[in-house]
Amino acid sequence: MTPNSVLRLVVAIPLLLAFLLAQGYWLSRFWRFASRIRSATLRPIARGLAIGVVAVVAVALTAVFFSGRRDLVWRFSGMMGVVGLWITTAFASWTMIGLVSGIDLAGRYAWRLLATASKGRRPAAETSSGQSQAGAVRDGVRLDRRRFVQGATALAGAIPFGAGAYGFFIGRHDYRVRKIELPISGLPQALDGLRIAQLSDIHIGSYMAAADVRRAVGMANELQPDLSVVTGDFITGPNDPLETCIRELSRLRAPLGVWGCNGNHEIYADAQHLAAELFAENGMKLLRQENAEIGWRGAKFNLIGVDYQLTRSARGRRLVMLAHTDSLVRRDMPNILLSHNPNSFPRAAELGIELMLTGHTHGGQVRVEILDHRFSPAQFLTPYTAGLFKRPLGSASELDDEEAWSAAHSHVAVAGPAVSSVPTALVYVNSGLGTIGAPVRLGVPPEISLLVLRCA
C-alpha cells in the first residue's frame, strides 16, 4: 500500500464516520418526531421512511468512499443529487448545531465558575430576601439564556439547509459567461482580438446531466470564438459517462478547432488514454505533453497541452511540475498552455509561457464575503483560486514574491502589464461547470469563459 493510499484511508475513514454520526443524529430526531404522531397507522410508516432514508444515504456514502461503481447511480442524476444535497447539508447542520451546543456548554461551565467565586465572596449576613432576589435573577437569566440557545441552535441548523437548497436548485444551474481581455506580452498585432472560449471541470455523472453539458456548449458557441478549449475533469470517477461527455463537447464550434487537456479525475478513473481517443474520434484534439502551431490572420501561436501535473508521486516524492515541457515552448511566437492544475503556473512563467489556461479549483464552489474579505475552500489548496493572476515572465519561481505579483481578479491583474515594462505571464483559472462533494454552488456560479487576447 502506497503512502498516498494510507493517507486517503486515514482521512476517509474518520470523515465517513463523521457523516454517519450526522445521519444517526437526524435519525434520532425523526424518530422522536414520529413518536409524537398519534395515528397507529402513520407512526410506523414515518419511522420506516426515516430508517429507509438513512439506509439509502449510508449505502451511498459507503459507495462513494469505497467503491468505483458510480455507473450504478449516474443515470439517476436527479435522485443522487438530492441524496448528495441531503448528505452535505445534514452534515453541515449537525456540525453547526454541535458548535452552538459546545459554546453553550462552555458558557454554562464559565457561569458556574463565576457563581461559585461570587458565592464565596458574599457577606455572611446576607438576608434571605436578598438570596431570593438573587435566585429570581438567576432563574430569569437561565430562562433567557435557554431561549437564546434554542433560537441560535434552530438558526444554525436551518442555515445550511436553506443555503444548500439555494445552491443546489439555483446556484449550480446559474451558468454565467465571463468575458476577460488578456494583455499578452509580445503578442503580434495580427493576433490582437483572438477569441478563446474555455470550459472546465464538467464532472458529468451523478450531479451533471448530459443536457446540462449541452446547454453550456450552446452558450459557448453563441460567443462565436475563434478557438475552443476544455481544461480537464470531464468526469469524476471510474465508469462515469466519459463518452457521453465528449460527444456533447464535440458540438463545440470554432474555426481553429476544439482542444483540451486531461484533469486529475481522468487519472483517478484511469481514463487519460480513452479521453484522448474519444477526442480524436469526435474531431477534436486532446494534447498530452504535446504542442500545436496554429495560424490566425497571418500570425502564429503555440498551443501546448499537458496531463494533470502531480505535486507528489505515489510514494510521496515531490515532483517537478511541467518536467520536459521546456522542449515544447517556442521562442518565436506566443505560447498558450492548457494545464488543469493552476499550481503549475510558477513553473510555466519560468519557462517563458505567456498565457496558461486552467481550472481544477471550482472557485471553491462556495464563497462568502465578510467585511470586504472573501473566503473560499479553494484557498486551502492554492493561491490561484479563480480569475486572473500574473507573474514576471521567465523568472525563477522560487525567487519571486508571489503575493506581489498575484491579483485576485482580472480588473486588478490586467492593470499591471499595461503600464509596466516588465513582461508578464498570465494564468486564467476558470471556476468550472460541475461540482464535486457537495452538489451546490454559492457565490461561485458555473462559468463559460470568453478570453480575448490583446497586445500588452
Q: What is the average per-residue pLDDT within 51-59?
A: 78
Domain regions of the chain by residue span = 3-67, 78-169, 174-455
At residue 406, the pLDDT reads 42
Residue 412 has pLDDT above 50, yes or no: no
Q: What is the average per-residue pLDDT within 351-367?
A: 95
Residue 363 has pLDDT above 90, yes or no: yes
Binned at pLDDT 50, 70 and 90, residue 398 comes out as very low
Residue 211 has pLDDT above 70, yes or no: yes
Residue 256 has pLDDT above 90, yes or no: yes
Which residues make Cβ contacts (< 8 Å) with residue 416, sequence separation at least 6? Answer: 390, 407, 424
The CATH number of domain 174-455 is 3.60.21.10? yes
Q: Which range has the top average pLDDT, 12-16, 309-313, 400-404, 407-411?
A: 309-313
- H or E element at residue 392: strand 387-392
Residue pointed to by grid coordinates 439517476: 76
> What integer best gives the mean pLDDT of the chain?
84
Q: What is the average per-residue pLDDT within 234-258?
A: 94
Q: What cell was used for 158?
A: 436551518
At residue 51, the pLDDT reads 84
Contact assessment for residue 266 and residue 232, using Cβ atoms and an 8 Å cutoff:
yes
At residue 85, the pLDDT reads 84
Query: Which of 27-36, 140-149, 339-348, 431-440 bottoms out in mean pLDDT, i.e. has the lowest?
Result: 140-149
At residue 237, the pLDDT reads 84
At residue 448, the pLDDT reads 98
Residue 288 has pLDDT above 90, yes or no: yes
Higher-confidence residue: 374 or 294?
Answer: 294
At residue 311, the pLDDT reads 81
Q: What is the average per-residue pLDDT within 327-351?
A: 96
360-391 burial, b for 16+ CB within 10 Å, e for fewer?
bbbbbbbbeeeeeeeebbbeeebebbbbbbbb
With both helix axes pointing from N to C terminus, report the angle between 242-249 and 272-281 in degrees, rounded to the nearest 10.
40
